[in-house]
Amino acid sequence: FEAAAWYWHFVDIVWLFLYISIYWWGN
């Protein structure tokens, strides 16, 4: 379960970075 928690945290960070990059690029 520890690995799954780390995996989901990693996914959240990737999505957050992707969202910020798209938002920043859009302006």
DSSP letters for 1-27: -HHHHHHHHHHHHHHHHHHHHHHHHH-
Sign of CA dihedral 9, 11, 17, 20: negative
Q: Which residues of the chain have pLDDT under 70?
A: none
Q: What is the pLDDT of residue 27?
A: 81
Q: What pLDDT shows up at residue 8?
A: 94
Q: Which pairs from 22-26 meet CB under 8 Å and 24+ separation?
A: none
Residue 3: how many CA atoms within 13 Å on its side-chain side?
0
